[in-house]
Amino acid sequence: MSGPRQPRHFGLIPAAGIGARLGAGIPKQYMPLAGKPMLAHVLDTFAATAVIAHTFVVVSADDGYIGDLVAAAPHWQGRITILFHGGADRHASVLNGLNAIRTQVSDDDWMLVHDAARPGLTSGLIEHLIAALRDDAVGGLLALPVVDTLKRSDQDGRVAQTVERTALWAAQTPQMFRYGLLLQALTQATALTDEAGAIEMLGLQPCLVEGSPRNFKVTLPHDVALAEMFLRS
């Protein structure tokens, strides 16, 4: 007699952006970094993490780079699926991706949404997040406690206020929530920068799980050298 069905864990990578702030000339996720495109580092990590049942990548309908990326990575076969359902922003891309896989997942399966521009993620961090949230009723996200003194500026670029940093965290990804709950939250929400914000709008409190400095988001040109340092080490 078999036991109750265990929820599965799926990766969902929104990768339809253009990365304008980096000024790389190509979409940021395809920029070469430590020997291969940034997105390839992320997908290699998810594909190599045994606890992840499958990973879905959401790209724009006219993406001209993803085909070559997949062709160069035969080890992703059976582990990675490309969804050409990218939206105008992250919120739309994640929501479109969730709707596109409706028949392939169950409401109680876990979705791990991760930024394509965080190539420093490791299998260990994914496993750490899953272990921390395994029995959590809401879900949560990797994050780092804020250690720097924070200043709020006025319109002239001068200090208007020193912000108390106690209990402040910098959000990272993956952000991990049950499929049904995340779909409901993103369907109802507006003006979001991350999935946890949508969950908060439902009146719920995501759990903060300590991440790693290496899992930072590559956003500006000077981030590239730091990311390569982590990846090469």
Kind of pairing between the strands at 9-14 and 32-33: unpaired
Closest CA to 209 of 166, 163, 168, 175: 175
Taking the complete model, does pTM exceed 0.85, yes or no? yes
What pLDDT, on a 0 to 100 scale, did the predictor assign at position 22? Answer: 58
Q: What pLDDT was estimated at residue 3?
A: 66
Q: Residue 64: its pLDDT value, please?
A: 92
| Average pLDDT for runs of 10 along the chain of length 233 | 82 85 76 94 98 98 95 97 96 98 98 97 98 97 96 96 94 98 96 94 98 93 86 82
pLDDT at 202: 97
**Phi–psi pair at 117, nearest 5 degrees:** -95, 20
Q: What is the structure's pLDDT at 24?
A: 58
**CATH number assigned to the domain covering 9-135+174-204+216-232:** 3.90.550.10
What pLDDT, on a 0 to 100 scale, did the predictor assign at position 104? 97
Strands (E), the chain: 9-14, 32-33, 36-37, 54-58, 80-83, 110-113, 140-145, 150-153, 159-163, 169-178, 207-210
pLDDT on residue 21: 55
pLDDT score at 23: 54
Bridge partners (DSSP) listed for residue 177: 111
pLDDT of residue 20: 56
Angstrom distance (rounded) from CA 132 to CA 93: 27
CA-to-CA dists, residue 225 to 12, 48, 222, 228, 232, angstroms: 26, 25, 6, 5, 10
In the chain, domain spans: 9-135+174-204+216-232
Q: Give the three-state DSSP class for 42.
A: helix
Name 171's bridge partners.
Answer: 143
What are the structure tokens assigned to 176, written together?
A: 């991990």
Return the pLDDT at 229: 87
